[in-house]
């Protein structure tokens, strides 16, 4: 497909099974339709590739002559999901030579360049601009949404027959560039949307939660953390105490399976779900991935009788989810979280669309002008979420023909 065009992918929340998913245990995850990453691909006249990612302040242009010096991953490697270490090393050298040093920047640039070398190594004169309405590095799957949006766009540029399986496959490769050894749950739910029961290496089961809208409040602690580091800390613990950590991971597996059974009943009883949230948080704490900010939210939700809280995503800060069993003190809960602790609360519906595209054929001159303006502005000023949503958010009142 010729530029300009747009891709988009949603954030996600893990209800049960973070960390244990990495060890092949079940996890339940759902997309968050309204928190999305948008990627706008446009043509340039400079025989170069430009990446603008204003949310993390990453701006870089690579001349096509410097990109063509790096070999493409071998065909055999492209068939499975492994990373070609020789190519990876040369990309890392280029990133260093480009003076990109911040770990957030190096990870994003590595993901972008590796997918570029795999999928569209011979293209140039392109600009990729990304904006996101989801907090970055918060445990809500922002990196997976970036990988999915990039993988979808590059498959379009490669004129490949695109389907969700292929988009997810390449998004998983992108996630590996960022996180090392991810389970694949984040990219899968961001690609497909909705809610899923996931187990690495097996076909995911789509969960219909429409009969059972869980009332959940997400809280963003704003404590920065690295998924890669947290996953590797758990791995160390597992390697030192395999006989102790294995039963913890097995318990997490049973929690996800039991919860999926309860949530898909016609009239589920939420009391057991509340117990499972509590137990899961206790187990995550035992793996060392909780944080004092998370503990404060757990305590407050208990004191105000809102319902149980657990971390969601990799932990170490990031976001929590609170199951709202009683909303009598909800306002007070939210005010305390914001005013006393400086956290953000995020009210949102779970589920909804996965990755989407607005193709070149569906964009007219007027809309292209609006898109150019919004994405250009995002480079110098943080554009308000309302403004991004009003032009880009898919849904019943959408302005763009997302498919
Ligand atoms: C991160 O959102 C979830 C983790 O389980 C890592 C993964 O599944 O790849 C911590």
The residues that are catalytic are 186
CB-ligand 1 contact for 231 (6 Å cutoff): yes
Handedness of CA 73, 76, 77, 79 (dihedral sign): positive
pLDDT of residue 267: 81
Tally the residues of the chain. Answer: 403
The model's pTM? 0.96
Going by C-alpha positions, the residue among 135, 142, 43 that lies closest to residue 360 is 43
Which residue minimizes the CA distance to atom 8 of ligand 1? 183
What separation in Å is there between the alpha carbon of 87 and the centre of ligand 1? 25
Which residue minimizes the CA distance to atom 10 of ligand 1? 314
Distances (CA, A) of 213 to 195, 256, 264, 373, 388: 11, 17, 11, 37, 26
The pLDDT of 375-386, averaged and rounded, is 91
Higher pLDDT, 267 or 150: 150
What separation in Å is there between the alpha carbon of 97 and the centre of ligand 1? 31
Partners of 51 in the beta sheet? 60, 128
Q: By three-state DSSP, how is residue 28 classified?
A: strand
Range with the lowest mean pLDDT among 205-219, 273-287, 388-402? 205-219
pLDDT of residue 76: 64
- Res 361 pLDDT > 80: yes
CB-ligand 1 contact for 186 (6 Å cutoff): yes
CB-ligand 1 contact for 19 (6 Å cutoff): yes
What separation in Å is there between the alpha carbon of 231 and the centre of ligand 1? 7
Rg of the chain, C-alpha, whole Å? 21
What separation in Å is there between the alpha carbon of 227 and the centre of ligand 1? 7
Dump pLDDT digits (tens) for 162-219. 999 999 999 999 999 999 889 999 999 999 999 999 999 999 999 988 777 788 999 9
Q: Which residue has the tokens 């990612």?
A: 53
Going by C-alpha positions, the residue among 94, 50, 87 that lies closest to residue 72 is 87
Which numbered atom of ligand 1 lies nearest the CA of 14?
A: 2
CB-ligand 1 contact for 287 (6 Å cutoff): no
Which numbered atom of ligand 1 lies nearest the CA of 17?
A: 5
Which numbered atom of ligand 1 lies nearest the CA of 144?
A: 2
The H or E element that residue 129 is part of is strand 126-132
- Res 46 pLDDT > 70: yes
Partners of 14 in the beta sheet? 29
CB-ligand 1 contact for 117 (6 Å cutoff): no
Report d(CA 345, CA 336) in Å as an integer.
10
The H or E element that residue 346 is part of is strand 344-347
What separation in Å is there between the alpha carbon of 236 and the centre of ligand 1? 16
Which numbered atom of ligand 1 lies nearest the CA of 231?
A: 10
Dump pLDDT digits (tens) for 221-256. 999 999 999 999 999 999 999 999 999 999 999 999
Report d(CA 340, CA 327) in Å as an integer.
20
Report d(CA 185, CA 199) in Å as an integer.
8
CB-ligand 1 contact for 185 (6 Å cutoff): yes
Dump pLDDT digits (tens) for 55-103. 999 999 999 999 999 998 877 666 677 899 999 999 999 999 999 999 9
Q: Which residues contact 13 (CB under 8 A, 6 or more apart)?
A: 29, 30, 32, 140, 141, 216, 218, 312, 313, 319, 321, 350
CB-ligand 1 contact for 21 (6 Å cutoff): yes
CB-ligand 1 contact for 199 (6 Å cutoff): no
């Amino acid at each position: 497909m010729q530029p300009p065009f747009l891709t988009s992918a949603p954030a996600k929340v893990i209800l049960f099974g973070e960390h244990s998913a990495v060890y092949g245990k079940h996890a339940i995850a759902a997309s968050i339709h309204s928190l999305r990453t948008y990627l706008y691909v446009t043509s340039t006249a400079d025989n170069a590739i430009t990446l603008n990612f204003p949310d993390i302040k990453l701006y870089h242009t690579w001349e096509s002559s410097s990109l063509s010096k790096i070999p493409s991953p071998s065909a055999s490697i492209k068939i499975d999901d492994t990373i070609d270490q020789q190519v990876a090393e040369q990309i890392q050298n280029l990133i260093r030579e480009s003076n990109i040093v911040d770990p957030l920047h190096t990870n994003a640039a590595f993901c972008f360049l590796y997918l570029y070398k795999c999928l569209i190594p011979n293209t140039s004169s392109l600009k990729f601009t990304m904006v996101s309405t989801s907090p970055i590095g918060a445990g809500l799957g922002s990196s997976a949404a970036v990988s999915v949006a990039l993988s979808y766009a590059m498959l379009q540029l490669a004129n490949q027959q695109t389907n969700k399986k292929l988009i997810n496959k390449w998004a998983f490769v992108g996630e590996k560039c960022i996180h090392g050894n991810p389970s694949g749950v984040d990219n899968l739910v961001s690609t497909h949307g909705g809610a899923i029961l996931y187990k690495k290496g097996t076909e995911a089961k789509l969960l219909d939660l429409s009969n059972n809208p869980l009332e959940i409040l997400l809280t963003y602690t704003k404590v920065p953390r690295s998924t890669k580091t947290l996953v590797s800390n758990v791995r160390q613990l597992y390697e030192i105490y395999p006989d102790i950590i294995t039963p913890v991971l097995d318990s997490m597996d049973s929690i996800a399976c039991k919860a999926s059974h309860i949530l898909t009943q016609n009239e589920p009883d939420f009391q057991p779900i509340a117990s499972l949230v509590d137990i899961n948080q206790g187990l995550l704490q035992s793996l060392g991935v909780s944080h004092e900010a998370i503990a404060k939210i757990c305590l407050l939700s208990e004191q105000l009788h809102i319902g149980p809280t657990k971390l969601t995503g990799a932990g170490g800060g990031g976001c929590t989810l609170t199951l709202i069993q009683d909303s009598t003190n909800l306002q007070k809960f939210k005010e305390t979280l914001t005013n006393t602790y400086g956290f953000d609360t995020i009210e949102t519906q779970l589920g909804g669309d996965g990755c989407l595209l607005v193709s070149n054929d569906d964009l007219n001159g007027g809309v292209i002008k609006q898109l150019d303006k919004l994405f250009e502005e995002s480079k110098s000023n943080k554009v308000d979420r309302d403004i991004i949503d009003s032009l880009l958010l898919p849904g019943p009142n959408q302005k763009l023909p997302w498919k």
